[in-house]
Chain A
Amino acid sequence: MKLYLHSALYRLCQRFAIGLCALLAMASASPSQAVIGANDNVPAATLLLPYFEVDLNNGNGPQTSVRLSNASATAILANVTLWTDWGIPTKSFLIYLTGYDTSEIDLRLVFKGHLPRTASAGQDPSNTISPKGLFSQDINFASCGGILPYTTLMPAADLTAMRNAHTGLASTTFGGSCGGKAYGDGRARGYMTIDTVNNCTPNNPSVSGYFSPGGTGDATNQNVMVGSYTVIDRGQGFATTEPLVHIEASATNPISSTSGEPTFYGRHVANSAADNREPLGTIWNARYLNGGTFTGGTNFIVWQDPGQVVAPAVCGNTPAPFPIALGEVLAFDESEQVSVSPIIGVGSNARPANTVNTAFPVVAQRVATTPLTPFAFGHMILNFNQFTGQSASSSGTIVSRRQAFVSVQHSATGRFSASTGAVRLYSADQPLAAQLRYRF
């Protein structure tokens, strides 16, 4: 095992200078064993920022930044992809990380055209752009010649296209069509994925060949990245930091390598499991606090798989499969009274289906919880699986597992905010028949 080798090399090299000893030991160090199918934050091959907001017009509005670290001595290349809140990719860029390197992705700067400046050894012969530390590998990705480092601002037209794409406006990225929901508030929205890759590819996860089983496409299966993101809203006095969603890869674990079974990028690989990425949860449980000190209430940050490749639409229209219908919502108060949706005639406190079922209409969003519950405090069970046959007298049947990720933000208006996360109750890798229905 690599970690035993790490120890053996270390003891062997203790005869030499400590620096060399440490160098060799660190170079052979292996990150934590990946537990495929667990909702754990350990070094991974793909990181998901489930939702971002960037106020393009107000520096004191919500801003999102990501900190990406390489938890191994081996140099890696990371492909960052921005997606609209409809799940359509808009922009990819590359980040080179030497061993144990860290890079910051400030989306405020990205949406001003500034991309993180890194370079592999071949593009950085003087080791000044991506300096190599004592324990760090620094190698040349020849394919990055002429690409890295990013030295100029994005071309103005490209920048405008990207900003429009993420604010729900017509964008040349989509041939003049729209690729996201238009809120009309000047805030760029969407989500981000980061994958380990083996070349300075121009591709993104939606492109055929980006994934190939065993990490032999552009994307590799190197479980070495850790990351977190911070959302700051200085106008409100809010700051929250959360780990990114760490999505591990394995070419051998059945959960992430069985054709026909859900994987994270399944919709982009025809559900062939070629991406080798573990899937996320399907049923989640989260707290809400809509009152008391938390005058701003609780928002849920929700990323969900749309279940299909999404195409841009003529602006003003909404493409399939939106709005996505949520399978079930059970809102409990702190006395276990419950409001259930879709409506099954549970009484005056139940919410009509046409407001609750489409509470999370797109792939990535931040949603206030007050419309989802008649209660001020409690917890909710959110079932993202897709149902058929639901009615006032029938819970229906789950016909499709649908993965999602939920995070929780509580806030006191103008004072503070905190994120506490949600808990996964069921995973997309559990069989269809095992997925739970709660209404009956």
Chain B
Amino acid sequence: MLRYLKSLGCAVGFGLGATASLVSTSAQAVYNAIDAVPAATVLIPYFEVDLANTSGRSTLISVTNTSATAILVRATVWSNANLPVYSFPIYLTGYDVASFNMRDVINGVLPTSASAGQDPTDTLSRKGVFSQDINFASCSGVSPGTSTLPIAALAANTVADLRAALTGAAVPNGTLRGISAGQCVGMTQGDSVARGYITMDTVNSCLDATPADGAAVYFSDNTATRQNTLWGDYMIVDPSRNTVYGDLATMIEARSFSQSAVPGTYSFYGRFVNATDVDHREGLATLWVTQLDRDSTELQVWRDTRIALNPSSVGFTCGSAPSPQPMGMEGAGAFTFDSKPDGATVGTLFGTPIGSYPITNAATGMTSNGKLGQMYISLRTAIGGNADVEFADPTATQALVTSVRRPRGGATGLRSGAMAFPLNHVGTPGVINTTFPPFPPSTQ
């Protein structure tokens, strides 16, 4: 299988196993809850890779198959403008785990794997005694429009495009699908740090497609499957500063086959299926509360743009901001340890769909000096435009918030992170129809 932490050095162990019957898991899935259980889609909500410093921060990602059944996964890398950049398959035998460093991915070295047909000697994706190993014929690359396993290293011009795409620069060569040379697909932050997020879906073929290909190609049980067997985690590591923080990925379960799609429901990939719910994926929340500290907390935010896409045309003119940026929000405000409210006044506080935002008075418009206890964030917003996909609540805009804190009194290098607490769920009818009250300016 894979060598973990290639760029950081590692060793892979192996052992002998006795013959045993195959056992599959079938854990209970609670739909419409953001819970840490195996799922059909794994969301790594944020990654960073400092491309200018090979010893700088990068993001380590793993995805595990909790079942004895072999699984095919489609990993999609998205920009911080929430646009698809690149996708590739990962094959997992039963109980397999794939781990990779995003620095390697961006440098064109993708995770190595192969199904039984492409790996007859069982050396690339080894099969353990409890593990199923099957052939996905589509991964042999015999049909146009399919990926081939094992994946070859990316060509230099594609690597250049990938690096540019994820740092908000103009792609030089136009090798990425839907992004012409000279176009951008990410928002620049003025540095050489690649940013974005990753989704990993269970699929039934190596079709070279992403969720943006919508209901007819990717969803409606065509390519993406409903196998709730995956989970993942990630760590953002900076060896040069001796800092790391990590968290579980967000596991997004698929509904069971006994249940049908409910048109109008806000599902995770709803914008790609025109609100028909045929992606069969539970959504996230619009209202979050997080514990934090002023001036030593960053909130990592993932936001749905609700914009339908033509996957053959996702690039935009560099220097502009693709719709719906900058994204507004219904409101945000914090309470100090004395329960005193302090309202944020910056309406586009989380304007870029994927980002890490320092919580300071200057950035948020908050004014108090009291020690912060918790912050409420409502990310509902009207988007509008022809490409806007609306659900039962036209301003519902799902999101995910993670709080990364530097512990009080800790050394500069200490970092810790944890997902915030959702207060509603877009898939629960009626619950999301709330109005977030305005926070008054602080009186402290």
Contacts and interface: CB of A to CB of B under 8 A. Distances in A.
B337 A287 contact: no
A183 B359 CA distance: 41
A107 B409 CA distance: 15
B287 to A, nearest CB: 8
Contacts of B234: 420
Nearest to A345: B18
B426 to A, nearest CB: 12
A104 B99 CA distance: 37
A100 to B, nearest CB: 4
Contacts of A240: 245, 416
A131 B339 contact: yes
A348 B14 CA distance: 12
Interface in A395-425: 410, 412, 415-425
A230 interface: yes
Given A69-B373, A344-B18, A423-B37, A334 B1 contact: yes
A40 B33 contact: yes
Main secondary structure of the interface of B (DSSP, over half): loop
B12 A333 contact: yes
Nearest to A101: B339
A239 B434 contact: no
B335 A102 contact: yes
A377 B66 CA distance: 16
A196 interface: no
A132 B64 contact: no
Interface stretch (B125-133, B183-191, B255-263): B125-133
Interface stretch (A6-14, A165-173, A206-214, A356-364): A6-14
A102 B30 contact: no
Interface stretch (A19-27, A152-160, A316-324): A19-27
Given A21-B437, A376-B13, A71 B423 contact: yes
B337 A102 contact: yes
Contacts of B289: 69, 71, 226
Contacts of A344: 18
B95 A418 contact: no
B341 interface: yes
Contacts of B126: 335-337
Interface in A335-368: 335-340, 344-349
Nearest to A419: B246
Interface residues of A, number: 107
Interface in B415-440: 415-419, 421-425, 428, 430-431, 433-435, 437-440
A425 B418 contact: no
Nearest to B10: A292
A10 B18 contact: no
Contacts of B1: 334-336
Contacts of B418: 228, 241-243, 419
Contacts of B414: 232, 237-239, 416
Given A22-B440, A40-B34, A420-B233, A334 B12 contact: yes
B13 A420 contact: no
A136 to B, nearest CB: 4
Interface stretch (B20-28, B215-223, B308-316): B20-28
Interface string B320-356: 0000000000000001111111000000000000000
- Residue from B62, B99, B237, B437 with most neighbouring chain A CB atoms (10 Å): B437
A42 B417 CA distance: 17
Contacts of A228: 291, 418
15 contacts: A1-B431, A10-B437, A22-B439, A103-B337, A131-B338, A242-B418, A337-B16, A337-B129, A347-B16, A375-B15, A381-B66, A415-B242, A424-B36, A425-B27, A438-B23
Interface of A: 1, 3-4, 6-7, 10-11, 18-19, 21-22, 25-26, 29, 31-33, 35, 37-43, 67, 69, 71, 98-104, 130-136, 226-228, 230, 232, 234, 237-243, 246, 283, 285, 287, 289, 291-293, 330, 332-340, 344-349, 374-379, 381, 410, 412, 415-427, 430, 436-440
Given A69-B289, A239-B414, A410-B235, 8 more contacts: A1-B430, A10-B437, A25-B435, A42-B422, A104-B337, A293-B237, A336-B131, A418-B245
The 7 A-B pairs at the shortest CB distance, nearest first, are namely: A102-B373, A336-B128, A133-B339, A349-B15, A241-B416, A347-B16, A375-B13
